[in-house]
């Protein structure tokens, strides 16, 4: 259920803006997509502090300072969420979001195979049939601020 809510959080700002005013949404795709992604990354960041023990389980035991890693990545994700809300840092934040989503996928795979972690990860490898496409969605959504910025640059040139 959280997965669906996160997708809705990403899409909602752009969808609502377009539903109420196509003129308002025009030219603001990057900002609206980034706002939705910021909501998702804010949620991710909060989880690092709300369910730390479950997230620590998602990392292999041989990894040093797992709790510190969870807190540090929570701070990173909070920073990404804030940066996504600023025009100046949006593109960098989107790139960081993509990198984080790619680099953190192995933790999701590990958690699913070991039936540990938060929520549906405990269901086992079958959850990856949902999680991997979800990660792909987040990566694609994070690319919107980058793609639309590049399109705007080319249109202005």
Residue 25 confidence (pLDDT) above 70:
no
DSSP state of 115: T
Residue 157 confidence (pLDDT) above 60:
no
pLDDT tens-digit readout, 99-118: 999 999 999 999 999 999 88
| Averaged pLDDT, 121-136 | 91
3-state SS assignment for residue 157: coil
Confidence of residue 155 (pLDDT cuts 50, 70, 90): low
**Domain ranges across the chain:** 2-156
DSSP state of 21: -
DSSP state of 20: H
pLDDT tens-digit readout, 73-82: 999 999 999 9
| Averaged pLDDT, 38-61 | 95
DSSP state of 122: G
Max CA distance (Å), the chain? 53
DSSP state of 26: T
Angle 29-50/90-114 helices, nearest 10 degrees? 40
| pLDDT of 1 | 58
Residue 41 confidence (pLDDT) above 90:
yes
Complete DSSP assignment for 46-105 = HHHHHSHHHHHHTS-TTSTTHHHHHHHHHHHHHHHHHHHTSTTTHHHHHHHHHHHHHHHH
Find, among 108, 81, 78, 76, the residue nearest to 94 by Cα.
Answer: 81
Residue 154 confidence (pLDDT) above 60:
no
Q: What is the CA radius of gyration of the chain?
A: 17
| pLDDT of 150 | 58
Residue 129 confidence (pLDDT) above 80:
yes
Distance of alpha carbon 74 from alpha carbon 16, whole angstroms: 28
Question: Cβ of 45: how many Cβ atoms within 10 Å?
Answer: 20
Residue 142 confidence (pLDDT) above 60:
yes
Find, among 52, 59, 11, the residue nearest to 35 by Cα.
Answer: 11
């Amino acid at each position: 259920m959280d997965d669906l809510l996160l997708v809705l959080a990403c899409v909602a700002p752009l969808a609502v803006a377009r539903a109420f005013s196509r003129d308002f949404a025009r030219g603001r795709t990057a900002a609206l997509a980034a706002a939705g992604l910021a909501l998702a990354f804010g949620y991710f960041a909060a989880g690092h502090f709300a369910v730390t023990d479950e997230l620590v389980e998602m990392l292999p035991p041989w990894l040093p300072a797992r709790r510190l890693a969870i807190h540090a990545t929570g701070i990173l994700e909070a920073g990404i969420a804030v940066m996504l809300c600023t025009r100046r840092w949006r593109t960098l934040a989107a790139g960081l979001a993509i990198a984080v989503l790619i680099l953190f996928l192995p933790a999701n795979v590990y958690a699913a195979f070991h039936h540990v972690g938060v929520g549906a990860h405990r269901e086992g490898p079958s959850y990856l049939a949902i999680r991997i496409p979800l990660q792909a969605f987040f990566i694609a959504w994070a690319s919107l601020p980058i793609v639309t910025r590049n399109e705007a640059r080319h249109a202005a040139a």
